[in-house]
Amino acid sequence: MVYLPRILILVAAYLLGTINLSYILARFKLGIDLRKTGSGNLGASNLSLQLGKGKAAIAFFLDCAEEVAVILIIRSLGWGLGWQVGGGLAVIAGHNWPFYLRFQGGRGMAMALAGTLILIPYEGATLTAFLTLGVFTRHTAEMNLLGLALLPIIAWRLERPPELIAFTLAVLVLTILRRAQGSPYLKKKKLREDPGKVLWNRLVYDRETEINHEK
């Protein structure tokens, strides 16, 4: 029973992560389900296409705030790095797989960024640079994935504690799993029709179909 309060905190962190402002705003402002339009992603990038960059920015920073709040609360309780990492990952899992939306959520990039900045600021700055580069080059999904893939290498080279290296690896795995899951509500191309191409588009472009970067 010693660890029961800590386990309950992790459960609470997951539940907090399931609060998705992008989904809520799109539902109440436009009456649409983001899972069925645009990229199918319940995140700020898809929301910006529907409600504009202002609302998307609010949703993005709320996602960041959820991650930061959990990690800082756990830290203030005097719990070690392992529990801080666990809390941060629980929030991301809640965002990616909310139980009340049939486990079809966002991608957790805002939370991954916020968690990395709080736990390992140097690696967080590196991820910020990749995310910013993605926005300016309009290759957001690719740059996000590349940035996440580099974090474990950087953390290992800088001899970070095992818990922090595990955090960077876990965030990468959660992102890959969520992207591989795709957005089945869009029904553009089923996995069994062309598994290689569908998985490639999901993992690299984070879409059901290949993205066309137009000027």
Q: Residue ranges per domain, the chain?
A: 4-205
DSSP letter string over 88-123?
A: HHHHHHHHHS-GGGTT-----HHHHHHHHHHH-HHH
pTM: 0.89
Closest CA to 118 of 88, 152, 147, 148: 88
Average pLDDT over the chain reads 88
- DSSP code at position 31: -
Q: What is the pLDDT of residues 121-149, one digit of tens each?
A: 999 999 999 999 988 888 888 999 999 99
Q: What is the pLDDT of residues 167-204, one digit of tens each?
A: 999 999 999 999 988 887 776 556 566 778 888 888 88
Give the pLDDT score at 1. 54
Give the pLDDT score at 214. 38
Q: How far is CA 17 from CA 90, 91, 111, 200, in A?
A: 7, 4, 9, 27
Q: Which two tokens stand for residue 163?
A: 């818990």
Q: Is pLDDT above 50 for 22?
A: yes
